[in-house]
A and B are shown apart, each in its own frame.
Chain A
Amino acid sequence: MINVPLWDILQFLLLAARWTLLLSAIAFVGGGIGALVLLLLRYGQPRYGVRLVHLYVELLQGTPLLLQLFLVFFGLPLLGVDVSPILAAGVALTLYASAFLAEIWRGCVDAVPRGQWDASASLGMNFLLQMRYIILPQSFRIAIPPTVGFLVQLLKSTALASIVGFAELTKAGQIVTNATFQPFLVYGLVALIYFAMCFPLTFCARLLERKLMRAR
């Protein structure tokens, strides 16, 4: 058994946690943009957009994220695209996040009363103006808690990227464990670091939610 100082273990893990944060950020930003596009397709003209979006969401919600990760990682090379682990993980998590966020946000858009569509339409506003100025701002407030909830879930899901060899926090934990033979200590630290990343998210969400409540 090699004696590694605790500080060195922690430092190694924290450096790897940056990749977890980066991967989460990529997936969240990419997924957010993807979900917004899906949302516009879902509510806009022509109507076949609805079915297309529905199919996409069903497919991604009905298959394990791990398999989506495998399909991207092993599938893209078949198409002649050489993928690095971070690219594969980024693409898979983005696709996954866009499907879930689209579904979460759809519920929030549906929660805006029908009369808001009627009133804005009767003022001559087209679909994009309605979405931009009337519907999305009102959906935003309801969307915060479930969106942050999903973001926390997404951050934790990045652990799966370790399986395709991406050296994020969980992978780093495995590497350190193999060297130190102290799985409980190392994975305990890994868990604490995940918690330290997720807790501020939920905390900020609560603050923001309260602030928006007051603004009403």
Chain B
Amino acid sequence: MNAQAATLQPDPAAPMVEMRNVNKWYGTFQALKNVSLTVSKGERMVICGPSGSGKSTAIRCINWLEHHQEGQILIEGVELTPGLKNIDLIRREVGMVFQQFNLFPHLTVLQNLTLAPRKVRGISRGEAEETAMRYLKRVRIAEQAHKYPSQLSGGQQQRVAIARSLCMEPKVMLFDEPTSALDPEMIKEVLDVMIELAEEHMTMICVTHEMGFARTVADTVVFMDHGEVVEVAPPRTFFSDPRNERTKIFLGQILGH
């Protein structure tokens, strides 16, 4: 179980993530309909839409947690295909933060952060711990390093989860409704960490209902509904001048109160 020395041959000129006409069905239900999205390096994209619109499915397809049936998904020019043996090689470059945090409950915070760098990237324990402490400081939680996840609040757990992904030094970060499971007073501490990350030009794809976050840091806002990409626009035009009728209705509902 040593670290694999294998490498991918990404194309540096290719966009970070590209989805081309992606279709996905669960049985007869079509979850994604012809979804095409391009995320260039350093771009910060926010995907919003009503629940069941396929936004989580779309983001989970990007690191192959869900498999699409038609179309193409490319990470730095490397296509995700059913025969792909080196999916783990792609995944280590793609960080993901989940709604339910998904920390490893049997490991301490520090172990949560160092496990994958040590076992997947083959980094020494000392070096991995050093990196982990650096990221824990960045998410302002270094003093909790030796606690277990269950001893932390939701907001703290989510910041640990973000740090855990960052420890793999990913090229792109996926956020799947990172604040939806949090109490209101904890949302800000997580958003602050995400805003900092965005300001450092980390490539980010973020499924969220936090429209304030979208307005502040997104380069692109995507609206999805019924498995389709309905509208793609920079935040300024997206919020002030949405083209599509469904976007208008959604924004009316979400910003109305």
* A contact residues vs B (CB 8 Å cutoff): 113, 115-116, 118-126, 128-129, 132-134, 137-138, 216
Contact = CB atoms under 8 A, between A and B. Distances in A.
A129 B102 contact: no
B91 A123 contact: yes
A115 B100 contact: yes
A131 to B, nearest CB: 10
Contacts of A137: 106
A133 B105 CA distance: 12
A123 B162 CA distance: 12
A104 B106 CA distance: 21
Given A119-B104, A122-B63, A123-B92, A133 B119 contact: yes
Given A116-B104, A129-B120, A134-B104, A124 B98 contact: no
Contacts of B164: 123
Interface of B: 1, 63, 65, 88-89, 91-96, 98, 100, 102-106, 115-116, 119-121, 148, 150, 161, 164-165, 168, 174
A124 B93 CA distance: 8
Given A115-B102, A116-B104, A216-B150, A121 B91 contact: yes
A128 B119 CA distance: 11
Contacts of A125: 88, 116, 119-120
A126 B88 CA distance: 6
A163 B113 CA distance: 56
A211 to B, nearest CB: 14
Given A122-B91, A134-B104, 20 more contacts: A115-B102, A116-B104, A118-B96, A118-B98, A118-B102, A119-B102, A119-B161, A120-B104, A121-B91, A122-B63, A122-B65, A122-B96, A123-B120, A123-B164, A123-B165, A124-B168, A125-B116, A129-B120, A133-B119, A138-B106
Given A121-B65, A122-B96, A124-B88, A132 B102 contact: no
Contacts of B89: 124
Given A123-B91, A216-B148, A115 B120 contact: no
Contacts of B106: 137-138, 216
14 contacts: A118-B96, A118-B98, A121-B63, A121-B91, A122-B65, A122-B174, A123-B115, A124-B92, A124-B116, A124-B120, A125-B88, A125-B120, A133-B115, A216-B150
A143 B106 CA distance: 15
B119 A118 contact: no
Best-surrounded residue of B93, B116, B121, B148 (most CB of chain A within 10 A): B116
Nearest to B94: A122
Contacts of A138: 104-106
A119 B100 CA distance: 10
A123 B102 contact: no
